[in-house]
């Protein structure tokens, strides 16, 4: 009986609270429904007109080509980010870490991609700073023209890629491109340097992945040997080794070691 009275009291208080909320929400509409709405000043809304017509002067053609080139570059921005920065190596190594531990979706792909993106910004900050100081600021101030600004923008990125590119991969791409053997770095075309840099990044990432895999493979082998010696051949070794691999990774502060190794590998 006491419980029923308590339940009825709670329902009554809940109903009273709900009525108070409805009154507070509806009362202003009831009170001000009959009052005329105040006249608001008319705010002019700008209109944007886009039309396609024939070019009247050569300058119109140049501006149209510049807009098309800008849209093309913006659409290729993700590919440029993958190809000429440290994003590829970082993301591949992160994937190796997750696979070596034996986890399928932890951390999720969104977390790994976001972490790789911010680490890319961190490692590429000196390059972006150099581009900003030597190319963007003088160009916006009118001190240099577009060709000089483009050259000052590309050169820091090329220097970064040359520093991380292996000679073997660069020789391969020069041979495949059919270009004559370059005498120095300035004679290597950017279109030849980019794929050579990507191949070098993949090779470096796979080498780091092998080093990451070794301790976890040892744990799998130990667990499998123990299970076989105990006669538990039907029990999957990965089910038993997974907690030990996670424990080893946490105890060794694995994420800090991996990130530190990635960042220092670009120095």
Phi, psi of 264 (to 5 degrees): -70, -20
Predicted local confidence at residue 42, as pLDDT: 55
Tokens, residue 61: 């053609």
pLDDT tens for 221-259 read 888 887 777 777 777 777 777 888 888 888 888 888 888
Residues in the chain predicted with pLDDT less than 50, given as ranges, are 1-8, 11-12, 14, 17-18, 20-35, 37-38, 40
Residues 6+ apart with CB under 8 A from 212: 93, 96, 97, 100, 258
Give the CA distances from residue 82 to residues 37, 78, 79, 147, in Å, rounded to whole numbers and listed in that order: 56, 6, 5, 25
pLDDT tens for 22-39 read 444 444 444 444 445 445
Q: How many residues does the chain have?
A: 267
Distance CA 172, CA 197 (A): 11
- DSSP annotation of 88 reads H
User: Nearest CA to 220 among 54, 90, 74, 102?
Assistant: 102
In sequence order, what DSSP letters do the residues of 100-157 get, joined into one string? HHT-SSSS-HHHHHHHHHHHHHHHHHHHHHHHIIIIIHHHHTTSS-HHHHHHHHHHHH
Identify the residue whose tokens are 């791409």.
Answer: 173
In sequence order, what DSSP letters do the residues of 193-218 get, joined into one string? HHHHHHHHHHHHHHHHHHHHHHHHHH
Contact (Cβ atoms closer than 8 angstroms) between residue 194 and residue 161: yes
Cis peptide before 107 (omega within 30 of 0): yes
Buried b (16+ CB within 10 A) or exposed e, 167-195: eebbeebbeeeeeeeeeeeeebeeebbbb
Distance CA 131, CA 146 (A): 14
Predicted local confidence at residue 206, as pLDDT: 92
């Amino acid at each position: 009986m006491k419980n029923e009275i308590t339940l009825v009291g709670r329902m009554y208080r809940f109903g009273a609270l709900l009525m108070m909320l409805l009154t507070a929400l509806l009362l202003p509409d009831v009170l001000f429904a009959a009052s005329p709405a105040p006249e608001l000043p008319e705010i002019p809304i700008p209109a944007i007109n886009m039309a396609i017509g024939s070019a009247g002067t050569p300058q119109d053609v140049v501006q149209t080509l510049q807009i098309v080139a800008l849209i093309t570059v913006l659409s290729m921005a993700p590919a440029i980010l993958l190809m000429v920065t440290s994003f590829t190596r970082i993301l591949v190594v992160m994937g190796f870490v997750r696979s070596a531990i034996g986890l399928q979706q932890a951390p999720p792909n969104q977390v790994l991609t976001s972490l790789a993106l911010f680490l890319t910004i961190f490692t590429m900050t000196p390059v972006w700073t150099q581009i900003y100081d030597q190319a963007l600021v003088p160009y916006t101030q009118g001190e240099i023209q577009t060709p000089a600004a483009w050259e000052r923008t590309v050169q820091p990125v090329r220097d970064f890629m040359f520093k991380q590119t292996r000679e073997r991969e660069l020789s391969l791409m020069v041979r495949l491109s059919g270009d004559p053997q370059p005498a120095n770095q300035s004679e290597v075309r950017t279109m030849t340097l980019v794929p050579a840099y990507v191949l070098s990044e993949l090779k470096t990432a796979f080498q780091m992945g092998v080093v990451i895999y070794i301790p976890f493979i040892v744990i799998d082998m130990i667990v499998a040997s123990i299970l076989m010696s105990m006669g538990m051949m039907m029990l999957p070794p990965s089910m038993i080794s997974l907690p030990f691999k996670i424990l080893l990774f946490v105890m060794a502060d694995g994420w800090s070691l991996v990130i530190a190794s990635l960042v220092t590998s670009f120095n």
